[in-house]
Amino acid sequence: MSIWTGVLPAITTPFNADLSIDHGAVRSHVRWLVSQGCTGIIPCGSLGEGATLTSAEKADLMRTCVEAVKAPVVPGIAALSTDEAVRLARAAADAGCAGLMVLPPYVYSSDWREMKAHVSAVLRATKLPCLLYNNPVAYKTDFTPAQLAELAAEHDNAVAVKESSTDARRVTGIRALLGDRLTLGVGVDDCLVEGVEAGARFWVAGLVNAFPAESVRLLELSLAGKKKEAFELYRWFLPLLRLDTVPKFVQLIKLVQQEVGWGHERVRGPRMELVGAEREECLRVLREALTNRPSL
């Protein structure tokens, strides 16, 4: 079965009180997610606070996930430098990961020549199948359909795209140019139904960390073309899914996880735990969702 199917949680990284990684919590969490129908696990991404993890911590986290579940583990590969990204890609292969989610470099964002060279170096570093991550909102680098086509033409292991531009037309544009060469996935929680309608086949999700059963069901209904049922579930889920689309999405999702019994709101600096009106509004949204939680 293809890796690029179903709901792939971009997992949060749980921390102990001293802010070291809580590997026991990682194991329990990923096993629960898979038991609820998720098809793979994506550690070390933006939601996983990858920018605050050392390379050694990322490698340890990859191994923990691989050992914990039989489902594919597809870590995010992002770094300040191309050399570090290449080392992470090789560490993922050594850890037994099934694929890679390849991000543009942190901080530095420039022209296509440089971005293509960076991504290509990561793709050449391993034979693992790779998911290209387009998120211009967060990374200021926008991989256009034509640029994705260049990468796909030159690298056989470029096989899928996580499209997070927030523009559902991008899915249509990629399909129009590349056909089925790249499998398309939605990477923004509150664009799931629209993305599937345009041709996306999988979902790299965030609120799934707290609501896996609902996430899996929403994707199933969307893929099955059951529009009325999908929209009713989507209507309920949207206030929560929108928590994934703002700068403090990590803190918000971790708080939701804590409140439903699957995590802790601890984050690493420069992030800080939510306080005041922001925290109360998140809890209000969650309380309302739990009060009206649909039966699946």
Q: Using one digit for the tens of pLDDT, what is the confidence trace for 234-277? A: 999 999 999 999 999 999 999 999 999 999 999 999 999 999 99
In a domain, 261, yes or no: no
Residue 191 near residue 168 (C-beta atoms within 8 A): yes
What is the reported pLDDT for 62? 98
CATH code for position 103: 3.20.20.70
The number of domains in the chain is 1
What is the reported pLDDT for 12? 98
In a domain, 106, yes or no: yes
Rounded Cα gap, residues 274 and 7, in angstroms: 27
Rounded Cα gap, residues 55 and 44, in angstroms: 10
Set 70, 127, 140, 162: catalytic member = 162
133 catalytic residue (yes or no): yes
204 has binding-site annotation: yes
Query: What parts of the chain have a pLDDT lower than 50?
Result: none
What is the reported pLDDT for 200? 94
What is the reported pLDDT for 145? 93
Residue 204 near residue 10 (C-beta atoms within 8 A): yes
Q: Which helix (H) or strand (E) is 48 found in, with range?
A: none
Set 133, 139, 234, 254: catalytic member = 133
Residue 38 near residue 208 (C-beta atoms within 8 A): yes
pLDDT tens string 107-141: 888 899 999 999 999 999 999 999 999 877 777 78
In a domain, 278, yes or no: no
Rounded Cα gap, residues 281 and 287, in angstroms: 10
From residue 120, give the alpha-carbon distance in Å to each of 30, 85, 92, 163, 201. Answer: 30, 11, 17, 18, 24
For Cα atoms 237, 27, 71, give the angle at the middle one, nearest 5 degrees: 75
254 catalytic residue (yes or no): no
Phi, psi (rounded to 5 degrees) for 30: -70, -35
**Structural domain boundaries enclosing 82:** 6-224
Q: Is the peptide bond before 129 cis (omega within 30 degrees of 0)?
A: no
SS3 133: strand
SS3 210: coil
Residue 166 near residue 192 (C-beta atoms within 8 A): no
What is the reported pLDDT for 140? 77
Residue 226 near residue 242 (C-beta atoms within 8 A): no
Q: Which residue has the tokens 């191994």?
A: 63
In a domain, 110, yes or no: yes
What is the reported pLDDT for 1? 59
Rounded Cα gap, residues 235 and 165, in angstroms: 22
Among candidate residues 190, 184, 154, 189, the one with its CA nearest the CA of residue 170: 184
Tokens of 238: 């949207």
In a domain, 253, yes or no: no
Rounded Cα gap, residues 142 and 257, in angstroms: 31
SS3 76: strand
Residue 43 near residue 65 (C-beta atoms within 8 A): yes
10 Å CB burial of residue 43 (0-12, 13-18, 19+) is buried
Among candidate residues 57, 47, 16, the one with its CA nearest the CA of residue 250: 47
What is the reported pLDDT for 234? 98
